[in-house]
Amino acid sequence: MSGRRILVTGGSRGIGAAVARAFAALGDVVAVHCSSNRAASEQVVASLPGTGHVVVQADLRDADQVRAMVDAAAEALGGIDVLVNNAGVFFSHPIEEATYEEWQRAWADTLGVNLVGAANVTWCAVRHMPRDGSARIVSVGSRGAFRGEPDSPAYGASKAAIAAFGQSLAKSLGGSGIAVSTVAPGFVETEMAGEHLEGELGDATRAQSPFNRVATPEEIAAAVVWLASSEAQWASGAILDLNGASYLRM
């Protein structure tokens, strides 16, 4: 087994699968996390070049499952050099349309996976990371943290919190040689984007960027790989916008 040891949450499809492929192509060994779709994660692992890749499973809303999953990944890989917090959920729950029960469930599930789940994965993973300046944590946020998500306020809030979480950890973990950063994509051509990329709505979504398209998962993965590289330690604390100029902020 050679290369770095990578844990990617939500690695069964979309951005997570692309991230796993990008690291494996560099000779790294990858633990691909899934919540429920183990078959898809096993297909991702089977497609990766190299050997030693594994599937690990946990409902990120369950703290005990999270700890067992991270420990299993670390045992299989021999430690963790890079954590990619990619797993995320998105539910539509406009405040004037959702029932109170739907509203509560959307907030509990979204924050449970996107924020608290990521925080717990990170706590557990840090215990398995080297302190020699090589360890990296990269979280997948969203432009929704900055522009707002009117139909999914829990998603926007969770991604804003992930950005702040990353900056807090960049401060607290820098002394241990662990660099922490966040990417903030706009729409990406994945299953999660779903209906937003179909028909007239899809045309309008692509038109938000002057390039008249949305990102590919591979473009997001390339940024994650760079932020996890030895050259990117000084980017610790950074939030990298990846939205094709569809949303600009100072």
Is 116 contained in some domain?
yes
pLDDT in tens, 108-128: 999 999 999 999 999 999 999
Residue 1: per-residue pLDDT: 43
Residue 196: per-residue pLDDT: 75
Counting the structural domains of the chain, the total is 1
Is 248 contained in some domain?
no
Residue 80: per-residue pLDDT: 98
Q: Region 184-190: what's the mean pLDDT? A: 94
Is 75 contained in some domain?
yes
Q: CATH number of the domain that 68 lies in? A: 3.40.50.720
Is 250 contained in some domain?
no
> Per-residue confidence at 74, pLDDT binned at 50, 70, 90?
very high
The DSSP annotation for the chain comes to: --S-EEEETTTTSHHHHHHHHHHHHTT-EEEEEESS-HHHHHHHHHHSSSS--EEEE--TT-HHHHHHHHHHHHHHHTS-SEEEE---------TTTS-HHHHHHHHHHHHIIIIIIHHHHHHHHHTTS-SSS--EEEEE--THHHH--TT-HHHHHHHHHHHHHHHHHHHHHGGGT-EEEEEEE--BSSTTTGGGGSHHHHHHHHHTSTTSS-B-HHHHHHHHHHHTSGGGGGGTT-EEEESTTSS---
Q: Residue 81 above 80 pLDDT?
A: yes
Task: Please state which of the ranges 12-26, 142-156, 179-193 shows the lowest mean pLDDT.
Answer: 179-193
Per the structure, the complete domain to which residue 12 belongs is given by 5-242
Is 36 contained in some domain?
yes
Is 247 contained in some domain?
no
Q: Which residues are catalytic?
A: 155
